[in-house]
């Protein structure tokens, strides 16, 4: 059986190492409810059981890590027990001994049982939870739970999957995105990022690093349009007459073919060399078409 003290190594950075502040009173899937002791064996200012704080649940073989989502006092239900309040906890992972060292892994393999002890999470556990040792990791700030611990993201891991930056209005989502992108670009200067900026928030923070497209400088390749869309562009608000549309149906393909032949002949005489390879522009090279 793996003791909690062994997981914590009696680390002084964990102020409540081995000290119980409550017990598990119910378990529902990945959620657990815990009851906090009326007289915890430590200073309550150190534990502050409130929303967003981390708690640990000792299951014997591992230390489960959870986040408090709700704290209540239900007086009638608590009168017969020793708890002064209860909290709902979302289980996010567990700290286990792997290859002789304590490591955090997402998900829960060993769920808690009724009566399992609840412990505070200290700095050492937080460092294990947020440990990013990859060479592609960049620093983006510090943890809200402990300002002495840096917050990192793994560029490779983040960019190869979907992710979201969530929060209510005014909490700093845009600033967080700018910070993350700035650090990513600093680490990967050759990386290209496309931002759909509906509110015009991101052009100024990136300065000369950003190429901002707007209605004044937007250029679209003519091959982007099919024939019907090309007719709409040329005639604007008025519908084209049958004779005009018929002429365009012959003129546009001929014009494209003639231009492509001329462009291909010109570009073949101006081959560009890069990475020890000769790159030829073909007749399919996009041609800018400015929409007035």
Q: pLDDT tens, 191-209?
A: 888 898 888 888 888 888 8
Q: pLDDT tens, 98-109?
A: 877 888 888 888
Q: End of a domain among 188, 209, 230?
A: 209
Distance separating alpha carbons of residues 61 and 112, to the nearest angstrom: 11
283 pLDDT higher than 50: no
DSSP string, 155-169: HHHHHTS-------T
292 pLDDT higher than 60: no
Is the same domain home to 86 and 10? yes
223 pLDDT higher than 80: no
Is the same domain home to 199 and 241? no
Q: End of a domain among 129, 147, 165?
A: 129
pTM, entire model: 0.59
Is the same domain home to 90 and 20? yes
Distance separating alpha carbons of residues 206 and 195, to the nearest angstrom: 12
Is residue 21 within 8 A of residue 120, CB to CB? The reply is yes
**β-pair partners for 35:** 23, 86
Domain limits for position 179: 155-209
Domain assignment of residue 134, yes or no = no
Is the same domain home to 16 and 123? yes
5 vs 139, higher pLDDT: 139
53 pLDDT higher than 80: yes
Domain assignment of residue 13, yes or no = yes
Domain assignment of residue 135, yes or no = no
Please give the tally of structural domains in the chain. Answer: 3
**Residues 177-204: what's their mean pLDDT?**
88
* Residue 273 binned pLDDT confidence (cut-offs 50, 70, 90): very low
Question: What percent helix, strand, coil does the chain show, rounded to 5?
Answer: 30, 25, 45
Q: CA torsion 200→204→205→206, rounded to 10°?
A: 100
- pLDDT, the chain, mean: 78
Domain assignment of residue 100, yes or no = yes
Is the same domain home to 115 and 189? no
Domain assignment of residue 233, yes or no = yes
* Residue 250 binned pLDDT confidence (cut-offs 50, 70, 90): confident
Is the same domain home to 181 and 275? no
pLDDT of 87: 92
CA dist 204 → 143, 178, 207, 224, 229 (Å): 27, 10, 5, 29, 34
Distance separating alpha carbons of residues 243 and 175, to the nearest angstrom: 55
The two three-digit tokens of residue 170, written as one number: 């005014």
Is the same domain home to 236 and 280? yes
pLDDT of 102: 86
Domain assignment of residue 149, yes or no = no
Domain assignment of residue 142, yes or no = no
Distance separating alpha carbons of residues 54 and 174, to the nearest angstrom: 26
**Residues 27-50: what's their mean pLDDT?**
74
Is the same domain home to 122 and 164? no
* Residue 36 binned pLDDT confidence (cut-offs 50, 70, 90): confident
pLDDT of 161: 87
**Residues 133-149: what's their mean pLDDT?**
83
Distance separating alpha carbons of residues 89 and 54, to the nearest angstrom: 9
Is the same domain home to 114 and 29? yes
Q: Which residues contact 25 (CB under 8 A, 6 or more apart)?
A: 33, 34, 35, 83, 86, 114
Is the same domain home to 104 and 163? no
What share of the chain in percent tops pLDDT 70? 77
95 vs 231, higher pLDDT: 95
275 pLDDT higher than 50: no
Is the same domain home to 69 and 111? yes
Is the same domain home to 50 and 122? yes
DSSP 172: S
202 vs 37, higher pLDDT: 202
Domain assignment of residue 147, yes or no = no
């Amino acid at each position: 059986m793996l003791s909690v003290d062994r997981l914590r190594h009696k680390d002084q950075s964990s102020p409540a190492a081995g000290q119980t502040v409550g017990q598990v009173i119910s378990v529902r899937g990945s959620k657990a409810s815990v009851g906090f002791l009326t007289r915890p064996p430590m200073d309550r200012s150190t534990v502050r059981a409130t929303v967003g704080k981390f708690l640990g649940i000792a299951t014997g073989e591992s230390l489960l890590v959870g986040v408090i989502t709700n704290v209540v006092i239900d007086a009638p239900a608590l009168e017969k027990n020793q708890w002064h309040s209860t909290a709902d906890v979302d289980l996010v992972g567990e700290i286990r001994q792997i290859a002789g060292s304590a490591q955090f892994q997402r998900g829960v393999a060993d769920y808690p049982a009724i009566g399992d002890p609840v412990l505070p999470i200290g700095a050492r556990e937080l460092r294990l939870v947020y440990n990013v040792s990859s060479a592609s990791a960049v620093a983006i700030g510090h943890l809200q739970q402990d300002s002495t611990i840096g917050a990192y993201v793994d560029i490779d891991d983040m960019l190869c999957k979907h992710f979201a930056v969530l929060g209510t209005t005014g909490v700093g989502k845009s600033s967080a995105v700018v910070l993350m992108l700035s650090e990513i670009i600093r680490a990967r200067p050759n990386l290209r990022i496309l931002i759909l900026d509906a509110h015009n928030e991101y052009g100024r923070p990136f300065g000369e690093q950003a190429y901002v497209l707007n209605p004044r400088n937007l250029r679209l390749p003519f091959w982007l349009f099919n024939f019907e869309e090309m007719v709409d562009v040329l005639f604007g608000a008025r519908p084209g007459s049958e004779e005009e549309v018929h002429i365009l149906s012959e003129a546009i393909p001929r014009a494209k073919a003639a231009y492509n032949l001329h462009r291909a002949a010109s570009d073949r005489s101006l081959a560009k060399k890069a990475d020890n390879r000769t790159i030829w522009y073909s007749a399919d090279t996009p041609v800018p078409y400015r929409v007035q």
